[in-house]
Amino acid sequence: MAQRRRGRFVTLEGGEGAGKSTQLRRLAAWLRSIVGDVVETREPGGSAGAEQIRGLLVAGDIERWDPLTEALLHFAARRDHLVKTILPALARGAWVLSDRFADSTMAYQGYGHGVDRASLAELYRICVGTMRPDLTIILDLPVATGLARASGRGAGEDRYERMDLAFHERLRDGFNEIARNEPERCVVIDATLDEDAVHAAIVATVAERFAVSSAP
C-alpha cells in the first residue's frame, strides 16, 4: 500500500515584485507556531544542484537560452528540488512552502515565451508525476507596479526583469488563466494591498483550506 503523504505543499506564485519572498517568510513564521515543522524553499533552486542551475537562469543575456532549453533547465532544477528537498520533507510530515513551482514555467516559458503548453504539461508528468501543490497562492499586481518594486533588487539576478513589458503582461494573464482553470488548487490575492493586508489574506486562505488556526 502506498504510504500516505502527511505534509502539505503550498506554493506562492506571481510576476516580478509581487512580494512572494516576504509573504513566504511571514506565512512560514505563522504556520511554524501552529504546526512546527515548516520548510521554506524556492525555485529555481531549493537544493544544492538546483541552486547551481539557478545561476544559469537568472543572470546573463536575455537571449542566452532558447525558450525550450530554458524550460528544460527549469524542469531539471525542479526534479532535483523535488527529489532532494520537497518529497523527503513531505514524507516526514513537514509543511513545504515554495516560492514558485511549475506554474512559473507554464506562465514564463509557456504563456510568456510561447513554449507549447501541452509539451510543458508532458514535462511536468515526466519530472513530477501526478503530485500537485495542495494550495497555490498567486499574488497578482499590475506589471508596471511589480517591475518598479523589483528594480534594483540587484545581485545580478535580473535577467527576467529585463524582458519586455509585453512578456510580463502575457505571463500575468497566464497566471490568471491557470487560476481560472484550477480553482480548487489556486487562489489569487491582490498584491497591490499593503504587506500586512496581503499576509492576512494569505493566512485566512490557508486557515480555511487546511483548518489550521492560531486561535487557542
Kindly list the residues in this chain that would bind ligand TMP in the complex (CB under 6 A).
16, 42-44, 57-58, 74, 99-100, 104-105, 108-109, 160
Is the bond into 44 cis (omega within 30 degrees of 0)?
A: yes
CB of 121 to ligand TMP, least distance (A): 14
Q: Is residue 150 packed enough to be buried (19+ CB in 10 Å), middle (13-18) or exposed (0-12)?
A: middle
Q: Smallest distance from the beta carbon of 2 to ligand TMP, in angstroms?
A: 28
Whether residue 186 contacts residue 136, with contact meaning beta carbons closer than 8 Å, is answered with yes
Exposure pattern of 30-42 as b/e (b: 16+ CB <10 Å)?
bbeeeeeebbbbb
Question: Based on CB atoms, which residue is closest to ligand TMP, 30 or 108?
Answer: 108
**Among 28, 80, 20, 85, residue whose Cα is nearest residue 54:** 80
Closest approach of ligand TMP to the CB of residue 14, in Å:
8
Residue in the block written with cell 485566512? 204
Beta-carbon contacts of 42 under 8 Å, excluding residues fewer than 6 positions away, are: 21, 24, 98, 99, 100
Distance (Å, rounded) from C-alpha 202 to C-alpha 195? Answer: 11
Distances (CA, A) of 135 to 8, 11, 70, 125, 155: 8, 6, 26, 18, 30
Shortest reach from residue 169's CB to ligand TMP, in Å? 15
Query: Shortest Cβ distance from residue 206 to ligand TMP (Å)?
Result: 20
Nearer to ligand TMP, 21 or 205 (CB): 21
- Nearer residue to ligand TMP within complex by CB, 53 or 94: 53
Contact 47, 84 (CB under 8 A): yes
Report in angstroms how near the CB of residue 211 gets to ligand TMP at its nearest. Answer: 29
Q: Which is nearer to ligand TMP, 191 or 211 (CB)?
A: 191
Q: Is 34 or 56 the residue whose CB approaches ligand TMP more closely?
A: 56
Nearer to ligand TMP, 44 or 133 (CB): 44
